């Protein structure tokens, strides 16, 4: 019974997001990013392939991250607003099942979006005589999508505690902190207080979203070793699991209809 309810919530969420008005604009944005990356690579006197992928991966990472944060917070906020949440919880659908179904539907939609973006990028490369994407480039893109899933889980967790606007900006702030945590930790000098050093380095270890940014390795002669890739993938999976577990606990312990 639980699996059936989970499946129903997941498929409903997936259909809702697939029909969302932001879906087509995101795909159009992907085309614009690909075209701009091609134009910018012609401007540069450096390696045009590196410039192409730097701009392309940055654009895809930014676009997908914003979509994941928007969808993750919007799903729960819309369900509270239109009464869908109360109706579904009145049926034999547990709170944990509902949150899991919402996130799984979000994850499926992000994976679909990632597949479409990848297909557009590959067609663009073929039309411009860049050939097929290498295995390193495909792995780098897969980790970009993994970063989207982490942000989707973070947005879902934030939405169980806060209203949509606050949840979105909280997720955005934590995303920026995760992208900068390692850089900030590496700039600490000898004069930095020990407590500050421990706090910053601890944050950099626990919340380092640069683990999913492999653009610098996509064109390198020496690719990231398999154990390192496995570590990064496991790190992303653990983050998703921890965030969704937190969301389930919070959602089960408070009034589901109030943020």
Per residue in 72-91, pLDDT (tens digit) is 999 898 888 887 777 777 77
Query: What integer pLDDT is reported at residue 152 of this predicted model?
Result: 96
Residue 42 has pLDDT above 60, yes or no: yes
**Residue 21: predicted pLDDT:** 77
Confidence (pLDDT) at 56: 80
- Min mean pLDDT across 8-12, 53-57, 212-216 is at 53-57
* pLDDT of 224: 72
The predicted pLDDT at position 148 comes to 96
Mean local confidence (pLDDT), 41-68: 76
Q: pTM of the entire structure?
A: 0.91
Look at residue 233 in the predicted model and tell me its pLDDT: 95
pLDDT at residue number 86:
77
In SS3 terms, the chain reads as CHHHHHHHHHHHHHHHHHCCCCHHHHHHHHHHHHHHHHHHHHHCCCCHHHHHHHHHHHHHHHHHHHHHHHHHHHHHHHHHHHCHHHHHHHCCCCHHHHHHHHHHHHHHHHHHHHHHHHHHHHHHHHHCCCCCCCHHHHHHHHHHHHHHHHHHHHHHHHHCCCCHHHHHHHHHHHHHHHHHHHHHHHCCCCCCCHHHHHHHHHHHHHCCHHHHCCHHHCCCCCCCCHHHHHHHHHHHHHHHHHHHHHHHHHHHHCCCCCC
Task: Say if residue 44's pLDDT is above 60.
Answer: no
Tell me the pLDDT band of 47, cut-offs 50, 70 and 90: low
pLDDT digits 0-9 by tens, 184-216: 888 877 778 888 888 888 888 899 999 998 877
pLDDT top residue among 152 and 54 = 152
Average pLDDT over residues 163-180: 93
50-59, 139-148, 189-198, 214-223 — which one is most confidently predicted on average? Answer: 139-148
**pLDDT confidence band for 103 (50 / 70 / 90):** very high
104 has a pLDDT exceeding 90:
yes
160 and 247 Cβ atoms separated by less than 8 Å: yes
Residue 5: the pLDDT is 84
Q: What is the reported pLDDT for 65?
A: 93
What percent of the chain stands above pLDDT 90?
35
Domain ranges of the chain: 2-253
Identify the band that residue 99 occupies on the pLDDT scale cut at 50, 70 and 90.
Answer: very high
């Amino acid at each position: 019974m639980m699996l059936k309810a989970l499946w129903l919530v997941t498929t409903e969420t997936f259909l809702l997001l697939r029909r969302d008005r932001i879906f087509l604009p995101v795909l159009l944005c992907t085309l614009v990013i690909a075209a701009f990356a091609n134009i910018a690579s012609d401007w540069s006197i450096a390696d045009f392939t590196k410039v192409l992928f730097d701009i392309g991966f940055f654009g895809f990472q930014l676009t997908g991250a914003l979509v994941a944060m928007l969808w993750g917070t919007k799903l729960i906020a819309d369900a509270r607003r239109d009464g869908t949440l109360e109706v579904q919880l009145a049926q034999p659908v547990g709170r944990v099942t509902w949150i899991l179904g919402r996130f799984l539907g979000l994850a499926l939609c992000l994976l679909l979006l990632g597949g479409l973006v990848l297909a557009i990028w590959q067609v663009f490369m073929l039309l411009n005589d860049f050939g097929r994407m290498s295995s390193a480039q495909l792995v780098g893109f897969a980790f970009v999508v993994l970063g989207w899933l982490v942000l989707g889980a973070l947005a879902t967790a934030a939405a169980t505690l806060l209203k949509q606007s606050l949840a979105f900006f909280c997720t955005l702030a934590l995303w920026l902190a995760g992208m900068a945590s390692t850089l900030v930790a590496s700039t600490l000098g000898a004069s930095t207080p020990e407590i500050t050093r421990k706090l910053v380095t601890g944050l950099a270890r626990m919340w380092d979203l640069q683990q999913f940014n492999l653009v610098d390795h996509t064109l390198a002669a020496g690719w990231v070793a398999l154990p390192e890739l496995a570590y990064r993938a496991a790190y992303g999976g653990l983050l998703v699991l921890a965030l969704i577990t937190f969301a389930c606990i919070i959602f089960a312990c408070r009034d589901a209809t109030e943020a």
